[in-house]
Amino acid sequence: MSETELPEAPAPEQDELDEDDRLRPEFVDAVRDAVADGDDEAARALVEPLHPADIADLFELTPHEDRGPLAKALKDLLDADVFAEMNDYVREDLIDALTPTEVADLASELDTDDAVAIIEDMEEADQRAVLRALDPDDRAAIEEALSYPEESAGRLMQRELIAVPDHWTVGDAIEFLRGHEELTTDFWEIFVVDAGHHPVGTCQLSWILRTPGNIAIADVMKREQTLIPVDMDQEEVALRFQKYALISAAVVDSANRLVGMITVDDIVHIIQEEAGEDTLLLSGAGDGDINEPIRLTVRTRLMWLVVNLGTAMIASSVVGLFESTIAGFATLAILMPIVSGMGGNAGTQTLAVVVRAIATNQLTDSNTRWMVFRELRIAAANGLALGVLIGLGTFIVFGRTDLALVIAAAMFTNNITAGLGGVLVPVTLDRMNIDPAVSSAVFVTTLTDTMGFFSFLGLATLWGLHA
């Protein structure tokens, strides 16, 4: 393919990015080398063609100690848009080195939601200094946003939006948009409001473009609209956007007045984070951000591990009950971890499915009972299959029918325990308004460990197994 045939084919960033849109290691190294050599011009020339999201990635891929020099070299290429795209920890790292006035300058270039994201994590005193350095309008908007709870719609929304009165025509609206230079261009729908500034309808821009100017806007707008209460949690906002395939939505206060707008591009990373965080929470890795200061990471993970150490000791004390049985027949110690471990695996499967189903609103009070029976049937089928397999395996290796029968029965029992626990633990936690992703795994594995040891060693003791 020649350049003349397809003038637009090679996108400007294709040299820096690999096929997965990630910055190539050679490119990252080239920038680092330029900065290390003090050749700021070369570094800037390399970075200049990048999209702000890629410049943000570049900072994330740069070790902590090299970020300051990189920022100095890039100067104004590190602009507000880049900060808006950056990982929270990396941004904090860089923001810490700026004066309040510099931060205020950045914030004033951004929509409210992005400005809030930059300012909300600062120390109280720094935050106040930045707010003082902002012009009064921006300050008021940001202070209002900060008055809403963290991770609520009020923090996510932007105040820049287009609202028109419900008595206007389509032509009025177009004239208004053309006549006011200062209006935002970052909108996809316009909101129609009544005299009390309550939203009464939403209009896609395509409808406005395709309708003659003399038609009343009230005849074009869609009256069934999905409004977002300003104090709604961002996870619910994300689910609502997803469920109703929204591009933007009006945010209303408790008196149902239009106070802001959320657009889907601010929601996609929340959808991604919220959906991905279950993986991390279930494993006790906290928010699992690789840019988090290592001290925080150790604290989060260690807390979880210590809790698990406690429960592991409880499960082990069950083994202690049967110490004399094991002393008389050490083979039991070889097989025992298989029963507990397989129960843990089966329980984790059920848990993952149930936690996801709760998070995506697929599992509700209407189908919980059905779900319990579903998991019980799966557990019975798998327990039977695994029981037969481990029974056969045990018979082949150790040549003892009694041992084979005991382990098969224990395996079946522990699978049923895992299936039941895997549903009931997260469902119960959810009903108690505890996030099931955070603490279910501890309960379920304690259950399967304990039951695994108890059923296997208990049956062996009852049967009187010995070497």
The stretch near its own copies (CB under 8 A) out of 67-75, 120-128, 351-359, 401-409 is 351-359
63: nearest Cα among 96, 40, 29: 29
Closer to its own copies by Cβ: residue 38 or 320: 320
In this structure, how many other beta carbons lie within 10 angstroms of the beta carbon of residue 20?
Answer: 5
Q: In the complex, what is the shortest distance from the CB of residue 99 to its own copies, in angstroms, rounded to a whole number?
A: 29
The sign of the torsion formed by the CA atoms of 142, 146, 147, 151 equals positive
**Minimum gap (Å) between residue 126 Cβ and its own copies:** 27
Contacting residue, 97, 163, 327, 462, with its own copies by CB under 8 A? 327
Tokens of 347: 């329980």
For position 8 contacting its own copies by CB under 8 A, the verdict is: yes
Q: Minimum distance between the CB of residue 189 and its own copies, rounded to whole angstroms?
A: 9
* Cα four-point dihedral sign 458, 462, 463, 467: positive
Whole-angstrom Cα distance, residue 171 to residue 148? 37
Write out the binding residues for its own copies, residues 39-68 only, by CB under 8 A. 51, 53, 57, 60-61, 63
CA distance 192 to 247: 16
Binders of its own copies among residues 89 to 148 (CB under 8 A) are: none
Residue from the set 125, 195, 290, 432 that interacts with its own copies by CB under 8 A = 290
Among 77, 98, 183, 438, binds its own copies (CB under 8 A): 183
Contacts of 287 (CB under 8 A, 6+ apart): 277, 280
Measured in Å, how far apart are the chain's first and last C-alpha atoms? Answer: 76
Stretch near its own copies under the rule CB under 8 A, chosen from 40-48, 130-138, 152-160, 283-291: 283-291
Report how far Cα 410 is from the mean position of its chain's Cα atoms.
38
Select the residue interacting with its own copies from 45, 305, 392, 434 (CB under 8 A): 305
Minimum CB distance to its own copies, residue 133 (Å): 27
Q: 146 vs 300, which CB is nearer to its own copies?
A: 300
How many whole angstroms separate alpha carbon 230 and alpha carbon 250?
9
> Which letter, b or e, does each residue of 315-344 get, where b requires 16 or more Cβ atoms within 10 Å of its Cβ?
beebbeebeebbeebebbeebbebbbebbb
Tell me which residues in 190-209 interact with its own copies (CB under 8 A).
Answer: 194, 196, 198-200, 204-209
CB atoms near residue 158 (< 10 Å): 24
- Note whether 372 binds its own copies by CB under 8 A: no
128 to 138, 143, 285, 461: CA distances (angstroms): 13, 10, 33, 69
Q: Is 396 in the site for its own copies (CB under 8 A)?
A: no
Q: Is 341 in the site for its own copies (CB under 8 A)?
A: yes
Residue whose CB is less far from its own copies, 101 or 367: 367
319 binds its own copies (CB under 8 A): yes
Task: Name which position in 65, 214, 365, 432 contacts its own copies (CB under 8 A).
Answer: 365
Site for its own copies in 447-466 (CB under 8 A): 449, 453
- Residue 128 Cβ, how far from its own copies at the closest point, in Å? 30
Among 70, 133, 157, 351, binds its own copies (CB under 8 A): 351
Cβ-in-10-Å burial (0-12, 13-18, 19+) of 196 comes to exposed
- Residue closer to its own copies by CB (options 130, 358) is 358
Contact stretch for its own copies (CB under 8 A) within 93-101, 138-146, 152-160, 360-368: 360-368
By C-beta, is 74 or 250 nearer to its own copies? 250
Stretch that binds its own copies, among 17-25, 67-75, 105-113, 144-152 (CB under 8 A): 17-25
Report the residue from 41, 48, 137, 276 that binds its own copies according to the rule CB under 8 A.
Answer: 276
Question: CA 409 from chain center: how many Å?
Answer: 40
Question: Computed over its alpha carbons, how large is the radius of gyration of the chain?
Answer: 30
Map the footprint of its own copies across residues 243-262, applying CB under 8 A.
Answer: 243-247, 255-256
Contact 83, 106 (CB under 8 A): yes
Question: What residues numbered 401-440 form the site for its own copies, per CB under 8 A?
Answer: none
The whole-angstrom separation of Cα 13 and Cα 33 is: 20
**How near is the Cβ of 298 to its own copies at its closest, in Å?**
5
Task: For the CB of residue 67, give the shortest distance to its own copies in the complex, in Å.
Answer: 13
Nearest to 412 by CA among 441, 443, 388: 388
